[in-house]
Amino acid sequence: MKNLIIVGAGSAGKHIINEILKNNTKFNYNIIGFLDADKSKHHNIIKGYKVLGDHANIKYFIKQHKIDEIIIATTSINHKDLGKIYTEVKKQGVNVKVLPSFEELLLDKSFTKQLRKIRVEDLLGREPININSKDIHEYINSKVVIVTGAAGSIGSELCRQLVKYNPEKLVMLDINENDLYFLELYLKRHYKIKVYPEICNIREKGKLNYLFKKYQPDLVFHAAAHKHVPLMENNIGEAIKNNVFATRNLIEISDKYIVEKFVFISTDKAVNPTNIMGATKRLAELILEDKNKSSHTKYMAVRFGNVLGSNGSVIPLFKSLLKEGKDLTVTHKEVTRYFMTIPEAAQLVLEAGYIGKGGEVFVLDMGKPIKIIDLAKRMIELSGLNLGEDVDIKITGLRPGEKLYEELLYDVDYCKETQNEKIFIADIRNEDIKIKSGLKNLKKIVENFDRNKMKKKLKELVPTYKEANY
């Protein structure tokens, strides 16, 4: 039998021990007891097992009781404490499993079936956040909601969060039929909610018009976009068509059908953009701000940085390379980025949507920046490999449009606080540009596939766009 300690003597820990005791022939555990940081719980007895002490002393308990496995059964532990536990446990050669964060935990599913290995996302972004669930519920309850890019990383998590607040209908738009299908199955398995997957290219205004007429949405969350920086440097026309003109389609149709609120998922790369992706997202913000002046619909944008584990981000790339036994590549040893977990980003987007009165550009507090080379080292460690022996890190040089450091999303002296300490309203200076005539000219240029003219026109329409030179 495996000697087991459970970290966390709260409700999740009680769930775990109940499930183990019901079927311990399957688990084959010799339960030693619990550890918890809350001193008031020390020496308590849970199902006949004692809360032995604080998990800060986990090294002592591992050696004292010859522990084989640790289960971290708390959803509120912060990433620093989790990192300390993980580092100490791995030094002792002990197996460790963890529950997902509360945002990811399925309360109607066996907790022991949701236990998994620790991921780099857990160690870098596990600070608990506070959101106003009551207000968000009132805002979303019984509403018809459309999510674009619903099969993507952010869009799918928005869908998973939205269904918890009981919308009347959730309409999911995407052109990725496979992932959209699996998202539909997941939501129907776990929630009693009406979900409507719709295959739709948001560039097609006629199809959008048909869907908005059919569903009459109250709320729109627009997450669909081309986001890959180097690819968009080489595919300027596609970035403009998807990030600018398709967004304009949605903005105009939302106005036509008197949508209550329209929340646009923007990016930190729209801050003084140095690349095509950032410039197109900033132009979309300008279109949105312009429309908000004359519409019954309340339009707002939410900017945030990289999300841990999103499609196209560095983490899936590193995982793939490590699986293939190949060296990891980092563009520069000083490259730093701000990161946030996908569930955290989605929750804050929902609250920003509730707060918004129209015309705001919200920015999310991304915490402290992380060096990509440190992220690479941590992932090598999590994979059970040794840097310099099993795998190396290669420096390849900055790519087109890539910044060495991401700028802060906001200056605290020039932004407004909101009811959530992680959500701010950016004070962005007005940019005197002629949107309508400028977009008309841009469309003609895109149709002629003239890359140089496209870039030149973008610089006219987005005065803050300055190409990065290396």
Mean pLDDT of 101-113: 76
Instruction: Report d(CA 443, CA 435) in Å as an integer.
Output: 12
Dihedral sign for Cα 400, 405, 408, 413, please: negative
| Per-residue pLDDT reduced to its tens digit, 168-214 | 999 999 999 999 999 999 999 888 889 999 999 999 999 999 999 99
Catalytic residues: 269
**Where do we find the tokens 């890959």?**
228
Rama region for 42: left / alpha / beta (φ>0; ψ in -120 to 50; rest): beta
Q: How big is the chain, counted in residues?
A: 470
Say whether 384 sits in a helix, a strand or coil: coil
Amino acid letter for position 21 = L
* Better pLDDT: 296 or 121: 296
Amino acid making up residue 195: V
Average pLDDT over residues 242-256: 98
pLDDT of residue 456: 95
Q: Are residues 200 and 249 in contact, defined by beta-carbon separation less than 8 angstroms?
A: no
Judge whether residue 123 has pLDDT over 80.
no
- Alpha-carbon gap, residue 329 to 314, rounded angstroms: 10
Q: Assess whether pLDDT exceeds 60 at residue 332.
A: yes
Write the single-letter amino acid at 126: R
Beta-bridge mates of residue 423: 364
Looking at residues 262-289, what average pLDDT do you find?
94
d(CA 349, CA 262): 12
CA distance linking residue 439 with residue 450, whole number of Å: 15
Please give the pLDDT value at position 212. 98
Average pLDDT across the chain, whole number: 89
What domains appear along the chain, each with residue ranges and CATH number? 2-118 (3.40.50.720), 133-304+341-366+409-426 (3.40.50.720)
pLDDT exceeds cutoff 70 at 470: no
Torsion of Cα atoms, 163 then 169 then 173 then 176, to 10°: 60
Q: Nearest Cα to 9, choosing from 34, 45, 32, 33? A: 34
Q: Quote the CA–CA distance of 375 and 298 in Å, as a whole number.
A: 39
Q: How far is residue 91 from each of residues 18, 52, 119, 454, measured CA to CA in Å?
A: 29, 21, 17, 55
pLDDT band at 378 (very low <50, low <70, confident <90, very high): confident
**What is the average pLDDT across 98-117?**
80
* Region at 440 (left for phi over 0; alpha for psi -120 to 50; beta for the rest): alpha
pLDDT at 360 over 60: yes
At residue 147, does pLDDT exceed 70?
A: yes
What CA–CA distance (Å, rounded) separates 371 from 80? 16
Per DSSP (E only), the strands in 214-360 are 219-222, 261-265, 298-303, 306-308, 328-330, 336-337, 339-341
pLDDT above 90 as % of the chain: 59
The single-letter DSSP state of residue 99 is P
Residue, of 170 and 115, whose pLDDT is higher:
170
| Residue written as token pair 């993507």 | 152
Predicted confidence at residue 128, as pLDDT, reads 58
pTM above 0.75, yes or no: yes
pLDDT at 411 over 60: no
